[in-house]
């Protein structure tokens, strides 16, 4: 089925036991899908450099409205046409988010430093308490954001 994709179209489509796909009449390969489960997603179909057809999930409805999905589909079409491997870019962004979320100073201390300090240092408990007191503001910062500039500032401010 082909229609101009809009908020009204996205709201009115119902899945009756099978997936429903509506292709946009204005942007080639821009689609709205309603899965059997009721999930509603905006997608863009394209062919990768090997010629395989791929589907990029732009976002879910109603979290992403039709206007924003249309703009993202156009930007995605430009990226695909310029030769970018869009799925790998999406995966890299996701991995970066995970690295920032899990790569905090607190996670490093809890998963690596605490077991080592308690097993190898006589004053391990004291050292952990000092680190947590001195660097309380940095515990939830991503490790990649900690740098020499921050450390020098900390050293300068110490009494």
- pLDDT at residue number 85: 80
74 vs 54: CA distance, rounded Å: 16
86 has pLDDT over 90: no
31 has pLDDT over 80: yes
Residue in 47, 9, 48, 51 with CA at minimum distance from that of residue 29: 47
Model pTM score: 0.57
* Average pLDDT of the chain to the nearest whole number: 87
| Cβ–Cβ < 8 Å for 10, 40 | yes
Across the range 21-43, mean pLDDT stands at: 91
What percent of the chain stands above pLDDT 70?
A: 99
103 has pLDDT over 90: no
| Cβ–Cβ < 8 Å for 135, 146 | no
- pLDDT at residue number 21: 92
Across the range 131-142, mean pLDDT stands at: 89
The tokens describing 123, both together, are 């004053």
CATH superfamily, region 2-83: Integrase, DNA-binding domain (3.30.160.390)
Across the range 30-37, mean pLDDT stands at: 92
Residue that has been written with the tokens 């997608």 in this structure: 43
Residues 12, 17, 19, 24, CA torsion sign? negative
**What is the band of 141 on the pLDDT scale with cuts at 50, 70, 90?**
confident
| Cβ–Cβ < 8 Å for 45, 51 | no
- The residue ranges of every structural domain in the chain are 2-83, 103-144
97 or 155: whose pLDDT is higher?
155
b/e sequence 125-156, b meaning 16+ C-beta within 10 Å: eeebeebeeebeebeebbeeeeeeeeeeeeee
- pLDDT at residue number 79: 85
């Amino acid at each position: 089925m082909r229609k101009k994709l809009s908020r009204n179209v996205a709201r009115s489509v119902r899945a009756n036991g099978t997936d429903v796909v509506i292709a946009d009449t204005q942007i080639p390969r821009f689609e709205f899908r309603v899965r059997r489960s009721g999930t509603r997603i905006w997608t863009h179909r394209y062919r990768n450099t090997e010629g395989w057809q791929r589907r990029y999930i732009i976002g879910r409805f109603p979290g992403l409205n039709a206007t924003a999905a249309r703009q993202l589909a156009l930007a995605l079409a430009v990226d695909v046409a310029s030769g970018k491997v869009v799925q790998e870019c999406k995966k890299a962004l996701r991995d970066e988010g995970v690295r920032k979320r899990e790569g905090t100073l607190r996670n490093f201390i809890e998963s690596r430093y605490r077991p080592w300090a308690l097993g190898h240092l006589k004053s391990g408990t004291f050292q952990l308490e000092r680190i947590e007191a001195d660097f309380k503001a940095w515990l939830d910062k991503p490790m990649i954001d900690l740098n020499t500039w921050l450390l020098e500032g900390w050293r300068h401010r110490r009494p």
